[in-house]
Amino acid sequence: MAYDIATWVQVSAFLGSGLSMGFGAIGAAIGEGYAAGRANEALSRNPGATVNIFKNMLVGQAVAESAAIFALVVAMILLFTPHRADPLTIYILISSGLCMGIGAIGSGIGAGYPAGEACFGISRQPAMSEQLTTTMLVGSAVTQTSAIYALVTSLIMLYADFYSRPFSPTWAAVLGAGLSAGIGAIGSGIGEGFVAKAGCEGVARQPLSRGPVTNGMLLGMAVAETTSIYGLLIAVILLFKSFEPTASMATCMALVSSGLCMGIGAIGPAIGEGATGEGAVRWMARAPEQLAILTRTMLVGQAVSESTGIYSLVISLILIFVI
């Protein structure tokens, strides 16, 4: 049965919406569940701190929910905004939904780690509940940045004018951009959550070391963020670079593969950097006299983990500019 372009655009809007909200619901639910689980553990340890633990749990879950809200916003835009009846729109709508849905997974999971650890920390140090909540909010907020990159990429695809460009290979560039920014956000959200979790643990164990621990936490999270920035960079290049018209499927696949390469290649390094940062920040509280060597070792270890993400970035750039 043959369908006109307007029908296919509507179909792609429905599909993109489902992908956005479906994938977008995964991470937040896991992160919120982790926070609630640790809160129950904390309540069993110190029932007298029930009010503060419960309040912190709800605040932490609300932050973890934000990535899913981003996905909901994109899904609603796809469902209820009029879309141009053009073949390119089909790829734009699907890629936008896929980008935001997948891009919300890591941030939702990652935000749950500091929320859960802050709840448990309050059971250890009830007097530090405000400081732990603040540390949790800072850490959880940073984990949301990679989801924001995915949101920005999705909105650019939905509202920028790509229709003056040739259909081929623009469709491939749009699809590659969504894959790069969306998949590339997964690792950073999770890795940053590891570091923020250790920061909350450190403040609970040694309240006097809050300043150095927070600084180390932010430094470790910043490094874990870099590979999602690579994903955003490739997405921006794919969206805004002018490509010559072509009927070559090989050229189109090079652009799609560029996004896949950078997106998938960003996952492992970011999680590895997060694991490195978690170990370092945890011991910054336990052994504050070793702060300098712990920071140096963390940065060296993260730099080595970063190398594989750089390899992916190089191959992605070759696929765009050389192939």
pLDDT digit string, tens, across residues 51-73? 999 999 999 999 999 999 999 99
| 3 found inside a domain | no
| 151 found inside a domain | yes
Contact 82, 159 (CB under 8 A): no
| 116 found inside a domain | yes
Two structure tokens written together for 30 = 């896991």
| 204 found inside a domain | yes
Q: Which residues of the chain have pLDDT under 50?
A: 1
pTM: 0.95
What pLDDT score was predicted for residue 208?
86
pLDDT tens-digit map of 159-193: 999 999 999 999 999 999 999 999 999 999 999 99
| 51 found inside a domain | yes
Domain region containing 55: 12-321
| 209 found inside a domain | yes
What pLDDT score was predicted for residue 65?
96
| 228 found inside a domain | yes
Q: In the 3-class helix/strand/coil scheme, how is 16-70 assigned residue by residue? A: HHHHHHHHHHHHHHHHHHHHHHHHHHHHHHCHHHHHHHHHHHHHHHHHHHHHHHH
What pLDDT score was predicted for residue 323?
76
The CATH number of the domain holding residue 270 is 1.20.120.610
| 5 found inside a domain | no
Average pLDDT, the chain: 96
Angle of helix 145-159 versus helix 167-205 axis, rounded to 10 = 160
Domain count, the chain: 1
